[in-house]
Structure 1
């Protein structure tokens, strides 16, 4: 509705998906996006293990990015 082009709509959907997936995995979104953008430029995009390590559900995500449980 707010995208002027199909490519713009696709790009928006990708960003929203990344954000909502981070939220669903109790990750601080802003920190995760910085981490993701910093590390995507350093890995081989064809290496599925490297990409898997950047996913919000990965155990390789630094602890300081995770939202602490309120007990």
Structure 2
């Protein structure tokens, strides 16, 4: 209903899935997306491929994520 193509619907589902997974891991989705979208190009080889094992540090549960990606703890 909201998408013109099946591919558009799949892409939206992917974005929503990443966003919701970030929320479940106490991340701020905007900052998490900004981080992964700036870091992913650094992992590409000359053909645009990424070694899957390098993606572990970009997962929402990774300890290596910047502090700005994480929701502040309430006191």
TM-score (norm 2): 0.84
Match of 2:37 in 1: 37
Q: Which runs of 5+ in 1 are unaligned?
A: none
TM-score (norm 1): 0.89
> CA offset at residue 62 of structure 1?
1.1
How many residue pairs match? The answer is: 71
Q: Which runs of 5+ in 2 are unaligned?
A: none
Q: Deviations over 1:5-40 (max 9, x none)?
A: 110000000000011011111111111111010011
Counterpart CA distance in 2 for 1:37 and 1:64 is 15
Give SS of 1:2's match. Answer: coil
Query: Residues 1-71 of structure 1: matches in 2 within 5 Å?
Result: 1-44=1-44, 45-71=49-75
| Runs of 4+ with >4 A deviation | none
